[in-house]
Amino acid sequence: MASLHIPCTTTATTPSSATRPSSRHHFAKPSHLITHAKRNNRLQISCSDSQKQKDSSQNADTPQGNVDRRNVLLGFGGLCGAANLISTHTASANPVQAPQIDKCGVATNLNTGKQLDINCCPPMGKNIIDFKPPPLVQMRTRPSAHRVSAEYMFKYNTAIDRMKRLPKDDPRSFMQQANIHCAYCNGAYDQPGQGTLDLQVHNSWLFFPFHRWYLYFYERILGKLIGDPTFALPFWNWDNPKGMTIPPMFVDPKAAIYDAKRNPANMPPAVVDLGLTGNKDPLQVVSNNLTVMYSEMVRANSDIYDFMGKPYREGTLVNPGPGASERGSHVAIHVFVGDPREPSGEDLGNFYSAGRDPLFYCHHANVDRMWTLWQYFLPNNKLIDKKITDPDYLNASFLFYDENAQLVRVTVKDCLDNTKLGYDFERVDLPWLDYRPPPQTAQAKVMRTVSTTRKADAVFPLKLDGIARVLIQKTKKGKADELLVIEDITVDTSKFLKFDVFVNDEDDNVGELDKAAYAGTYAQVPHKTNEKTATTTIRLKLTELYDDMDVTEDDTVLVTLVPRHEGEGVTIGGIKIIENPTPAKTS
Ligand code: C2O
């Protein structure tokens, strides 16, 4: 009997016994690997050798119509990873510095296959001042866009209209404001002092702070244009069923906040599809949406970086890794609204053009709200340390023109508390807060015998051109505090792409996310990076998923990756399960 001997001697932080089930099963069992197969045994795993492996996948019945059997990859991956833990969170360099406006160059859109150069540089500013919060007279309350009054809509449209009428070279004008996003996201700026290394505010811990500042100044400019310092941007409450359509005020073609470059198929009453599964049943889509929200806000994050995104410091290559919210609901809305008739999904479907649609700021007001909710309002997360104290985060800086067309340098540390910037959000329900998928019943389990296993390197790197299934070793048998690590996800940055991750999925209905087996998502909006590809790693917390699925006897799990868009633009370097290095504090 072939013995699978995977050393799991752990060198990482030893968790307290209070948070971790005690187990002596540090070694995988040599054979009789128990996995959760499909009820009807359509999925056969026989991994005795590569030929058998091939036969097995060729004989695997198609689990459902849209799964091509050639794409069902079976393998056994997952080295016990605790010793391989690489902490990306401790290294210190310098914070990313605000760009030099005088060095702003062309921005690039690579989405069309050919390079499209765009000038989105701001006008030169004479002197730069450091941000000082203006005295707080009255809190600006951002309203839910589906609930605003006619009076509010009038004010908002008037403000946008005036913004559109400002001289073209006024840094507060509509296109200049839109171009801020283009410049910071499509390679117009290099990191100061770092040669030609791009400055990029997405796919890292700068995502939330940058967009918070961007909206802050946008809102202040609009308020100034209508002489109302209490004016606040609306937020698109896409996380609530009542807000799961494009807010009606944006679809009036005569309104200043209208934009013609949107997907006509997704106009109201089309329900937003945060899971981008393409499921056509609106009730199912609402349920998927709430599941996505629950997953990215509550279930899948083991530490603050899983939510905020990975560290991005001076000299870091762009794209260190997006947080759960950025790569989930945030990307989905960009793609839902962007117009597929346009060459690059303009406007919202591509970063260089996203700021040209007023709906962008309404979308991002809700993204910003998610950050606030995560920081202050989620009881489920209260055991996670939510403060990043790293000076490379706190001192990262950006430049914006304020409501007086004054160039201002801002830092991350000054935007951590939205109320200190003078705004808050209308309180609405959080229907996803307890939207935990129902536990999966145990009867569906099928035992299969695996005589030997394939090494992970026989499967990886794995091009995600179809649904892929890989058997992964757990660090210990049964319910443990573990993270699923999808490593070295190499993506073509010029493409919109997405895949979902399921663990021990029993029913293979990939159009439904509201089930215990759904573990999380990776997605991106096309953008520019120095290289045409970017590589990142995501971690998905499995603790609650194990509670909702019967894994008591298991020392492996079956991981299913479901590409939703442009899977051929994604290569997965490896998958492993590690112990949670940051177990929740218990007091
Ligand atoms: Cu800067 Cu939603 O993108």
Nearest by Cα to 250 from 338, 164, 336, 145: 145
If asked whether residues 352 and 453 sit together in one domain, one would say no
- Residue 580 is encoded by which pair of tokens? 């949670």
Structure tokens at 390: 């790293």
Query: Which amino acid type is present at position 34?
Result: I
CATH at residue 174: 1.10.1280.10
Residue 100 and residue 232 share a domain: yes
Q: Is 364 a catalytic residue?
A: yes
Q: Is 262 inside any structural domain?
A: yes
Indicate if 374 and 496 belong to the same structural domain: no
| β-sheet bridge partners, residue 518 | 502
527: annotated binding-site residue?
no
> Taking a C-beta distance cutoff of 8 angstroms, is the pair 170, 405 a contact?
yes
Residue 151 Ramachandran class (φ > 0 left, ψ -120 to 50 alpha, else beta):
alpha
Question: Which residues make beta-bridge pairs with 107?
Answer: 118
Tell me, yes or no, whether 2 lies in a domain.
no
Counting atoms of ligand 1 from 1, which one is nearest the CA of 364? 2
Length of the chain equals: 587
Q: Calculate the CA 531 to chain-centre distance.
A: 21
Same domain, 428 and 454: no
Q: Which two tokens stand for residue 47?
A: 């991994």
Q: Is 586 contained in some domain?
A: no
Q: Tell me the backbone φ, ψ of residue 342, rounded to 5 degrees.
A: -85, 155
Query: Across-strand partners of 579?
Result: 482
Residue 550 is predicted with a pLDDT of 85
Q: Is 146 known to sit in a ligand binding site?
A: no
In a domain, 405, yes or no: yes
Q: Pairing relation of β-strands 497-503 and 518-524?
A: antiparallel
The residue annotated as part of the active site, out of 351, 398, 496, 502, is 351
Rounded distance between C-alpha atoms, residue 165 and residue 174, angstroms: 8
Q: Tokens in use for 372?
A: 């606030």
First to last CA, the chain: 46
| Interval between CA 126 and ligand 1 midpoint (Å) | 28
Angle between helices 207-225 and 359-376 (to 10 degrees): 120
Q: Is 330 a catalytic residue?
A: yes
Whether 566 is in a domain gets the answer: yes
How far does the centroid of ligand 1 lie from the alpha carbon of residue 351, in Å? Answer: 6
Say how many Å lie between the CA of residue 202 and the centre of ligand 1: 7
Three-state SS for 444? helix
CA 217 to chain centre: 24
Q: Is 529 exposed, middle or buried (0-12, 13-18, 19+ CB in 10 A)?
A: buried
Residue 269 inside a domain? The answer is yes
Same domain, 402 and 344: yes
Please identify which of the residues 27, 76, 146, 202 carries the catalytic annotation: 202
The predicted structure's pLDDT at residue 77: 45
So what's the pLDDT on residue 110?
64
- Helices 207-225 & 174-185 angle (0-180, nearest 10): 170
Atom of ligand 1 nearest to the CA of 210: 1
Q: Is 364 annotated as a binding residue?
A: yes
Known catalytic membership, residue 527: no
Measured in Å, residue 297 CA sits from the centre of ligand 1 at 18
pLDDT in tens, the chain (587 residues): 333 333 322 222 222 322 222 222 222 222 222 222 222 222 222 222 233 333 333 333 332 323 332 233 444 443 333 333 334 444 558 999 999 988 898 887 765 555 678 889 999 987 999 999 888 889 999 999 999 999 999 999 999 999 999 999 999 999 999 999 999 988 888 888 888 888 889 999 999 999 999 999 999 999 999 999 999 999 999 999 999 999 999 999 999 999 999 999 999 999 999 999 999 999 999 999 999 999 999 999 999 999 999 999 998 887 889 999 999 999 999 999 999 999 889 999 999 999 999 999 999 999 999 999 999 888 756 678 888 999 999 999 999 999 999 999 999 999 999 999 999 999 999 999 999 999 986 544 433 333 334 455 578 999 999 999 999 999 999 899 999 999 999 998 888 899 999 999 877 788 999 999 999 999 998 877 777 888 999 999 999 999 999 888 889 999 999 999 877 789 999 999 999 998 876 54
Domain end position, chosen among 434, 461, 483? 434
d(CA 214, CA 219): 9
Note the helical H segments in 318-418.
324-325, 331-337, 359-376, 391-394
The per-residue DSSP string of 383-397 comes to TS------HHHHT-E
Query: Ligand 1 centroid to 95 CA: how many Å?
Result: 21
What domain range includes position 176?
A: 54-434
* Structure-block tokens of residue 80: 């016990």
Query: Looking at the structure, do residues 352 and 460 belong to the same domain, yes or no?
Result: no
Looking at the structure, tell me whether residues 125 and 218 fall in a common domain.
yes
Classify 10 as helix, strand or coil: coil
| Three-class DSSP category at 559 | strand
CA distance to 63, 209, 385, 433, 525, per residue, from 561 (Å): 14, 31, 30, 25, 19
Q: Give the domain-ending residue among 379, 404, 434.
A: 434
User: Any catalytic annotation for residue 565?
Assistant: no
Q: How far is the CA of 280 from the centre of ligand 1 (A)?
A: 26
Let me know if residue 488 belongs to a domain: yes
Residue 334 CA: nearest ligand 1 atom is 2
- Residue 125: per-residue pLDDT: 83
The whole-number pLDDT of residue 51 equals 32
Q: Do 247 and 353 belong together in one domain?
A: yes
Class of residue 58 by CB neighbours under 10 A (exposed 0-12, middle 13-18, buried 19+): exposed
- Cis amide prior to 347 (ω within 30 degrees): yes
Nearest to 144 by CA among 514, 426, 438, 381: 426
Whether 506 maps to a domain, the answer reads yes
Which candidate in 146, 330, 363, 527 is catalytic?
A: 330
DSSP string, 220-263: HHHHHHTT-TT----B--TTSGGG-S--GGGG-TTSTT--S-S-
CA 255 to chain centre: 31
Atom of ligand 1 nearest to the CA of 201: 1
Please give the model's pTM, rounded to 2 decimal places: 0.83
Nearest-atom number in ligand 1 for the CA of 331 is 2
CA angle in degrees (0–180, nearest 5) for 92-93-99? 135
Please tell me whether residues 426 and 462 are part of one structural domain.
Answer: no
State whether 480 and 508 are in the same domain: yes
Give the number of domains in the chain.
2
Active site residue 351: yes
Residue 363 appears among annotated catalytic residues = no
- Which residue owns the Cα nearest ligand 1 atom 3? 351
334 is in an annotated binding site: yes
Tell whether 459 and 428 lie within a shared domain. Answer: no
Domain final residue pick, 382, 401, 434: 434
Chain center to CA of 338: 17
Is 211 annotated in the active site? yes
CATH of the domain at 543: 2.60.120
Q: Provide residues with CB under 6 Å of ligand 1.
A: 181, 185, 202, 211, 330, 334, 351, 354, 364
Residue 430 shares a structural domain with residue 448: no
